[in-house]
Amino acid sequence: MRPRSVPQRSNGLVAIILITRPRSGPKLTFHYPPAPTVGTHSCDSDVADYDDRVEDSETEEVDFKERSSEEVARSGRTSSDTNHVLGYSVDSLERLLSPGRWSNGHKFEICLDGLTFLSHPIYADEDGSWLPRDGSTAKDTRPPQTETDNTPTEARKTSLTGDEPEPTTSATSITITAPETLAGPAIHDFTHLPESLDSQGGSSLGTSMNSTSTTSNVMLGEQMAMFNVVFVLSTTSQDEIKAMYQHVVKKLSKALQYCQKQSGYVAVQSRRLLALKAKAKQDRTDSDTGFSSMYESSELAWALKELYEKLSAGDVAGFRLNGMETSLQIPLPGMSNDREEELNPHSGLLLLDEKDILLYELSHPDASPLAYFIREHLPTKSFQKSAARLNIPVHDAIYLARHLIKWRKARVIAPLHARNIYVVSPDAPMDKLADLIPEYARQFAALPSLPQMLKMLGGKPLKYGLLIPSRDHRMPYMDILAYLLRHGFVRQLKTYGWLQSSGPGAVDGWQPAVTQSKLRPSGQSLLSPHLRPVEDDNVSVSSERTAIPLSVIREEREAHGVDDPDSPVHTAGVILDPASPTGEERERCEVIQASIEDVELQSRLPQFLPYLDGEHTFEDIAAKEGFKRARVEDWFAELERQGYLLTFQSL
């Protein structure tokens, strides 16, 4: 059979292997994909070297010599032979990946020939029982001194403190580490949120094993002493390995341990899979048909298949274990801290799926607080305003939003507003346009088509509200905006700026040392370095505002010998940080304030100074300071008119 190609992997996931240990000995019960491949070289020499290291081992003997060179494809490690996986014999992997009881509940990591085998082995109790014992598990112990291990000391590190192993220079290394001690009741916490997108019920896929009989627990538990779900990675990066272990491997093993204690789930599924493999071998069934029968007949096999395919694509994997739905994922970069700096009462939320889809996925849509939050959600409202509408504390609204963000059902945005400027994104997925046009047409019938909306937003930037024909059209048009933003077609063009004392309203003859034309970055659009250069800046900018990055201003200051912040010479009269001005800049701010014609703006100017540092968006000021949006825009327009504001726009 021709080796199968492996999909693009962002996390180095090569395969998932299920090892179980019934009384007859360890068994490689299931693996996915059926014929995993890695790399472009043979591993015969490395395997032979590994044989030399462990040939005398009594408890974990590994014999790779059965494999001949003809069994390794030239294009990489492949396997169309049911007796080999990843080019290694099944018997060898069974012995290698079924460590002793000392590994129970520990991080088990083996690095072999550029592959990392990562798992969290789970053992039955000492008496062979899987029965729950007050939600606790047996104490982890160190490897018994009687176990034989002839692997050189420098190639094997054992730690029960969770410390990362030291890197080795040998081609083959084994590292075994243990995580921190966990509280017993945490074993039950493998769903990500009660009453959330997980379900505690639902029909089973390909399994009828839902019994919780004590008798069946004892009988089934006696037939399996250990199980080990092994994730094979083509990476030795400790950051990637740590993320895979923390967010997937460990949680999956804990979930399976819970299911096994409740109903002997893993034992039943394993027996079914082994029976299917034996029958396929007896009937000489081809590999594709044999594996298909496993997916269709075993919920656990289907779950591992889904887990592999989703994680390989960088998605959230949703699947069932013993009829209970759960989800696992490796968080995207920047999600580990839930982006705390962006989740504040003034932030907004954009759902990444339609409401009816999200509500359908919830277990109890009518009663769940999360369902209520989704059903009443508006992307035009901040968390603060949403909490007031829903009559819930704002921290509860942020908590529910954070949950949706974590599971990639939503993302943080600035609340949608008709006064904001939205433009077609440089990264807009135009290749998906044809597929989305019919969906858009069904959802927004009798409104401008998707191509028409993109054409309007792709011209001269203007406030979105100018596209809305009447007040009655406001809500449908805001829904269109949410749709375009959800699919990545548009982005908000935001305004930034600094206080300055140059231009027509220059204070006390303080004239600019460098003009705006000199500050303008050559060869770039005035909007953002992400946008293509244009000859006419007015095509991309709705006003005469320029995009002058702070770094450019600093460079110009240095070029003109203005290194001393207290120097009386200032580039274009710009005050870079008016919230923390130098002595002379403070005097300039006072003079500017005294010369402002609008009395209310004059009194409010100190309140706005922290936002005039080129890093804060002007669109957020009104909500944060409690003003009407139109009023703040009028004040800033007045500052511009008098020459006291230097602004730019950027994505």
3 within some domain: no
Q: Which of 169-173, 328-332, 413-417 has the highest mean pLDDT?
A: 413-417
- Write out 187-252 in H/E/C secondary structure: HHCCCCCCCCCCCCCCCCCCCCCCCCCHHHHHHHHCCEEEEEEEEEECCCCHHHHHHHHHHHHHHH
2 within some domain: no
pLDDT digits (tens, 9 = 90+) for 216-242: 444 444 479 999 999 999 988 899 999
518 within some domain: yes
More confident call, 300 vs 78? 300
**Same domain membership, residue 127 and residue 70:** yes
Whether residue 484 is predicted with pLDDT greater than 50 in this model: the reply is: yes
What pLDDT sits at residue 367?
60
**Same domain membership, residue 365 and residue 296:** no
- Percentage of residues in the chain having pLDDT higher than 70: 65
Question: CA 17 to CA 27: how far, in whole Å?
Answer: 10
**Same domain membership, residue 438 and residue 563:** no
334 within some domain: no
Measuring CA to CA, which residue among 15, 22, 16 is closest to residue 270?
Answer: 22
Q: Tell me the one-letter amino acid at 595.
A: S
Question: CA 292 to CA 166: how far, in whole Å?
Answer: 41
User: Is residue 253 within 8 Å of residue 229, measured between CB atoms?
Assistant: yes
Question: CA 284 to CA 270: how far, in whole Å?
Answer: 21
Taking the model in full, what pTM does it have?
A: 0.61
What pLDDT sits at residue 144?
39
User: Is residue 422 within 8 Å of residue 491, measured between CB atoms?
Assistant: yes
**Same domain membership, residue 462 and residue 498:** no
Question: CA 647 to CA 578: how far, in whole Å?
Answer: 15
**Same domain membership, residue 122 and residue 67:** yes
Whether residue 14 is predicted with pLDDT greater than 80 in this model: the reply is: yes
**Same domain membership, residue 79 and residue 163:** yes
C-alpha distances in Å from residue 488, one per residue of 422, 427, 443, 479: 12, 7, 17, 14
Q: Where are the alpha helices (DSSP H) in 409-549?
A: 433-443, 450-457, 474-486, 516-519
Whether residue 206 is predicted with pLDDT greater than 70 in this model: the reply is: no
pLDDT digits (tens, 9 = 90+) for 245-287: 999 999 999 999 999 999 999 999 999 999 999 998 888 888 8
Q: Are strands 156-159 and 172-177 parallel, antiparallel or unpaired?
A: parallel
Whether residue 534 is predicted with pLDDT greater than 80 in this model: the reply is: no
338 within some domain: no
The number of domains in the chain is: 4
**Same domain membership, residue 532 and residue 406:** no
Whether residue 26 is predicted with pLDDT greater than 60 in this model: the reply is: yes
Average pLDDT over residues 160-176: 40
Q: Which residue has the tokens 């900018």?
A: 541
Average pLDDT over residues 47-68: 37
What pLDDT sits at residue 481?
97
pLDDT level of residue 24 (50, 70, 90 thresholds):
confident
pLDDT digits (tens, 9 = 90+) for 382-401: 999 999 999 999 999 999 99
What pLDDT sits at residue 10?
56
Q: Where are the alpha helices (DSSP H) in 565-598?
A: 583-595
**21 φ/ψ angles, rounded to the nearest 5 degrees:** -130, 90
DSSP codes, 599-617:
HHHHHHHHHHGGG-BSSS-
Q: Which of 271, 298, 328 is the last residue of a domain?
A: 328
Average pLDDT over residues 185-193: 34
Residues 6+ apart with CB under 8 A from 140: 102, 104, 105, 106, 160, 178, 181
318 within some domain: yes
DSSP codes, 43-66:
-HHHHHHHHHHHTT-SSS----TT
Q: Domain of 397? A: 348-413
What pLDDT sits at residue 572?
53
What pLDDT sits at residue 501?
76
Question: CA 133 to CA 187: how far, in whole Å?
Answer: 12
- Token reading at 387: 């909490």
162 within some domain: yes
3-state secondary structure of 124: coil
Q: Which of 335-344, 346-355, 506-515 has the highest mean pLDDT?
A: 346-355
What pLDDT sits at residue 347?
93
Whether residue 210 is predicted with pLDDT greater than 70 in this model: the reply is: no
Whether residue 165 is predicted with pLDDT greater than 80 in this model: the reply is: no
What pLDDT sits at residue 619?
93
214 HSE (CA, 13 A, CB side): 2
**Same domain membership, residue 243 and residue 177:** yes
Q: Which of 381, 413, 445 is the last residue of a domain?
A: 413
**Same domain membership, residue 199 and residue 175:** yes
pLDDT digits (tens, 9 = 90+) for 398-437: 999 999 998 889 999 999 999 999 999 999 999 999 999 9
Calculate the average pLDDT of the chain: 74
Question: CA 213 to CA 236: how far, in whole Å?
Answer: 43
Q: Which of 464, 488, 512 is the last residue of a domain?
A: 488
**Same domain membership, residue 503 and residue 437:** no
CA dihedral of residues 627, 630, 633, 639 (deg, nearest 10): -80
**Same domain membership, residue 208 and residue 103:** yes
Q: Which of 2-6, 332-336, 406-410, 477-481 has the highest mean pLDDT?
A: 477-481
Average pLDDT over residues 555-564: 46
pLDDT digits (tens, 9 = 90+) for 285-323: 888 888 888 988 999 999 999 999 999 988 889 899 998
**Same domain membership, residue 513 and residue 456:** no
Q: How many CB atoms lie within 10 A of CB 393?
A: 10
3-state secondary structure of 110: strand
Question: CA 29 to CA 302: how far, in whole Å?
Answer: 13
335 within some domain: no
- Token reading at 34: 């059926």
What pLDDT sits at residue 328?
93
Strand partners, 326: 319
